[in-house]
Amino acid sequence: MNKTVNINLAGIFFHIDEDAYLKLQRYLEAIKRSFTDSQGRSEIIADIEARIAELFNERVQNDKQVIGIKQVDDVIAIMGQPEDYIVDDEIFEDEPQPVRPKKTGKKQKLFRDPDNAYVGGVSSGLAHYFGIDAIWIRLAWILLIFGLGTGVLLYILLWILVPEAKTTAEKIMMTGEPVNISNIEKKIKDGFENVTETVGKAAKNVTDSVTNAAKNVDLKKQSNNIKSSSQTFFDAVSNFIMFFVKLFAKFIGILLIFVGAATLITLIIGLLSVGVVDIIHIPGLDMVEIANTGNTPIWLVSIFTFFAVGIPFFFLFYLGLKILITNLKSIGNFAKFTLLGLWLISVIALVVIGVRQASEHAYDESFNQKVELPVTANDTLTVKMVSSDSFHSSFNRNNGFKIKHNEAGEKVIYSTDINIRVKSTTENTAKLIIEKHADGSDYDIALQRAKNIVYTYEFRNNTLYLNDHLTTHVKNKFSDQEVYVYLYLPENAVVYFSQSTKSFLSYYRNSNNLVSRELTNHYIKINAEESECLDCPEEDDFEIEVHTPKLKINDDGIEITTDGNEIKIDDEGVKATSETVRVNINSDGIEIDSDENN
Amino acid sequence: MKIENTKAQMRKGVLEFCILSVLKDEDAYVAEILDTLKNAKLLVVEGTIYPLLTRLKNAGLLSYRWEESTSGPPRKYYGLTETGKLFLKELNTTWSELHNAVTIVTSQKTTKNE
């Protein structure tokens, strides 16, 4: 019993046994490969199919009869083997020589090898392609899998994109000449020789034809000959150019694969480390969660980013593969449009999320806390920064934030965004205003967040101890929480800012801020809308600094040099040197030295 | 050098000329051309003729028209174009010259050998 297939050959319907059908298909495929498009391949094939249909028709007595392997063999015997179709070319030398089918037969292509497959046959296919043992390719895969799992992705892509070697012809193409370094070299060399040979031959043809034409009376025929010879010549030149264009294209292909693969791999690692970790809640990564005031799940943002960036690079990668591997399968229009759609959705989603995130900072609200300090005129106030014991750390002061645990063991946002400003007041006592700021998508949220800022200080013994950090519960998210400490001091009060306050003060000193960074560690007297430093070193009224090769006058002392003589006065004493005598006056006494004892 | 190749090439060299000659008087479709050529033992397998016909057609020496067939697919009837006729005329001259030359050369050889 045999399974049959229905076929349509040149418009005629046939029942054919499955094995006979496969044989016929292989036969037609082989013939197809014997021709190039420039020879009118499709037309020739159509003619041949029509003839085969005719021959079958002669062998079928009625509609019910099935064509078996015997009939196919008969027809092939009549039509001849694929080789019988191709030999012609050599005898028509005036025709431009198409690419010889022999050559295309030799050309190796990348296929998946189903016969030696462990998974998808990609490794053994690559092994054939590079002419090495498949074990090395498999080892490389395993290494890549352990190396961040990128091998899996690449393997799956190749599995999808590289066609399987099904027919014998494809298998021959697959196993053909291995592409290794020495063969690549050989190929390039062959390519060169081929090109130079054809150019040379064509040039010779042209000259031959010209001399022949001069000799021969039959001008018309010869002019034809010249024409075709010059055609061959230009063909050769274009071959030559194509050779380099192809070489360049391969290079670009390799580059694209590298760029595409590297980006995809990076993105996948990024997606795994942020996205997945977010879903399974690994401690330490909640930083991202708290900065994310828009409340969009991080894994969603990661996936959108992955698609928005990854898809263009996937296409680059695919393009590179396509340039390098000529018989690559198309990923199909469905896949292409799906990817394009996914990309558009991701980009739009990211824009929406971005707008939402930005709107979270639309309102900046502050909440004020006002306290009187028992500091009056002529009192001296000292200001120091303190850090709480439980938060003690070497955290660099910047506008960032940290996640910490407070005494109660709760998770809190910790920030050192504290700013101190000093102003004068006409009232009799000092006052302290603590202004807490936070952002939010509307007034209420911003105000609530501002209120939720925890900031403490302490006042004792005429010393103000300000905390160097603020804290707030993580549920408030990090929304630019900051604290401004305004210190209003009565006129004639004196204030001393310790070194610890330096980085919390402003760089500038003006009527709105009477104490700047450079005034720490000094006693500052507050006047109306201005301040006065009581113990700052007096600046020199005048300053002389002379620096010439012979004379130097500066803070260190005086130094005069002439030929052979030198006098130096500095902190150590007086030193005078002539060619033969040295005089040294210092705290030890006076010392005179002479080389000449007469 | 294989004798088979030389034989095949000799045969194929004149094949183009013979195809044109078959179509000299009347149009014919592939099977008819094939019959003539096969009867003359000029052709062993049929496959060879298809690329040749396409080549001659592309060169403008042949043209064809479709004709329905009572049994089987529609047939391509080939015929000579004006260029084809001129081409054939020229080939005829060349062939008779060649024939003469070959006869002279081969017969001379035999007389010398005797």
The answer, for A79 touching chain B at a CB cutoff of 8 Å, is: yes
pLDDT over 80 at A50, yes or no: yes
CB contacts < 8 A (A, B): 78
- Please check whether residue A261 lies inside any domain of the structure: no
Residues of B at the A interface, defined by Cβ within 8 angstroms = 8-9, 12-13, 30-31, 44-48, 50-55, 58, 71-76, 90
Number of domains in chain A: 5
The verdict on A287 and A424 lying in the same domain is: no
User: Exposed, middle or buried: residue A574 (CB in 10 Å: 0-12, 13-18, 19+)?
Assistant: middle
Contact across the interface for A47 and B54, Cβ inside 8 Å: yes
Could you list the residue range(s) of the whole structural domain that residue A553 is in? Answer: 546-594
Q: Under CATH, what is the fold of the domain B3-113?
A: Arc Repressor Mutant, subunit A (1.10.10)
pLDDT digits (tens, 9 = 90+) for A233-249: 777 788 888 888 888 88
- Please check whether residue A211 lies inside any domain of the structure: no
The verdict on A469 and A523 lying in the same domain is: yes
Confidence of residue A399 (pLDDT cuts 50, 70, 90): low
The verdict on A433 and A302 lying in the same domain is: no
pLDDT over 60 at A284, yes or no: no
- Please check whether residue A466 lies inside any domain of the structure: yes
**In chain A, which residues have their Cβ closer than 8 Å to the Cβ of B30?**
47, 50-51
Least reliable range by pLDDT among A88-97, A207-216, A532-541: A88-97
Least reliable range by pLDDT among A51-60, A421-430, A501-510, B41-50: B41-50
The verdict on A371 and A351 lying in the same domain is: no
A24: amino acid identity, one letter: L
A118, β-bridge pairs:
none
Residues A540, A551: contact at Cβ < 8 Å? no
The answer, for A50 touching chain B at a CB cutoff of 8 Å, is: yes
The verdict on A384 and A462 lying in the same domain is: yes
pLDDT digits (tens, 9 = 90+) for A299-351: 777 788 888 888 888 888 888 887 777 667 777 778 888 888 999 998 898 88
Confidence of residue A295 (pLDDT cuts 50, 70, 90): low
Q: Last residue of a domain, which of A297, A326, A359?
A: A359
Q: Last residue of a domain, which of A179, A196, A222?
A: A179
Instruction: Select the residue of A54, A84, A92 nearest B31 (Cβ to Cβ).
Output: A54
**In chain A, which residues have their Cβ closer than 8 Å to the Cβ of B97?**
none
Q: Last residue of a domain, which of A32, A61, A93?
A: A93
pLDDT over 60 at A7, yes or no: yes
Contact across the interface for B73 and A50, Cβ inside 8 Å: yes
pLDDT over 70 at A211, yes or no: no
Q: What is the pLDDT of residue A227?
A: 56
Number of alpha carbons in the 13 Å side-chain half-sphere of residue A27 = 22
Q: What is the pLDDT of residue A365?
A: 79
Distance CA(A518)–CA(A521), nearest Å, equals 9
For testing contact with chain B, the best of A88, A90, A95, A221 (most B CBs within 10 A) = A88
The verdict on A562 and A509 lying in the same domain is: no
Sheet holding A573-577, edge to edge: A546-547, A551-554, A557-561, A566-570, A573-577, A581-586, A589-594
A437, β-bridge pairs:
A366, A482
Q: ipTM, 2 decimals?
A: 0.81
**In chain A, which residues have their Cβ closer than 8 Å to the Cβ of B12?**
87-88, 91
The verdict on A395 and A529 lying in the same domain is: yes
The verdict on A53 and A19 lying in the same domain is: yes
Which residues in chain B show pLDDT less than 50?
114
- Please check whether residue A413 lies inside any domain of the structure: yes
Query: Averaging pLDDT over each range in A41-45, A176-180, B60-64, which range is the top one?
Result: B60-64
pLDDT digits (tens, 9 = 90+) for A73-97: 988 888 888 777 764 454 444 444 4
What are the domain boundaries of chain B?
Answer: 3-113
The verdict on A460 and A428 lying in the same domain is: yes
Question: Which chain A residue is nearest to residue B15, measuring alpha carbons?
Answer: A88
Least Cα distance to A165 among A128, A192, A217 occurs for A128
Q: What is the pLDDT of residue B96?
A: 92
Percent of chain A with pLDDT over 90: 1
pLDDT digits (tens, 9 = 90+) for A116-155: 777 778 888 888 777 777 788 887 777 776 665 566 777 7
Least Cα distance to B63 among B49, B47, B33, B84 occurs for B84
Contact across the interface for B72 and A44, Cβ inside 8 Å: no
The verdict on A471 and A495 lying in the same domain is: yes
H helices then E strands: how many in chain B? 4, 3
pLDDT greater at residue A87 or residue A476: A476
**In chain B, which residues have their Cβ closer than 8 Å to the Cβ of A79?**
45-47
pLDDT greater at residue B50 or residue A39: B50
Tokens encoding A360: 């979270």
Contact across the interface for B72 and A88, Cβ inside 8 Å: no
Contact across the interface for A90 and B52, Cβ inside 8 Å: no
pLDDT over 70 at A61, yes or no: yes
Q: What is the pLDDT of residue A452?
A: 87
The verdict on A329 and A378 lying in the same domain is: no
In the predicted model, what is the mean pLDDT of chain A?
Answer: 77
Contact across the interface for A31 and B46, Cβ inside 8 Å: no
Q: What is the pLDDT of residue A91?
A: 45
The verdict on A515 and A589 lying in the same domain is: no
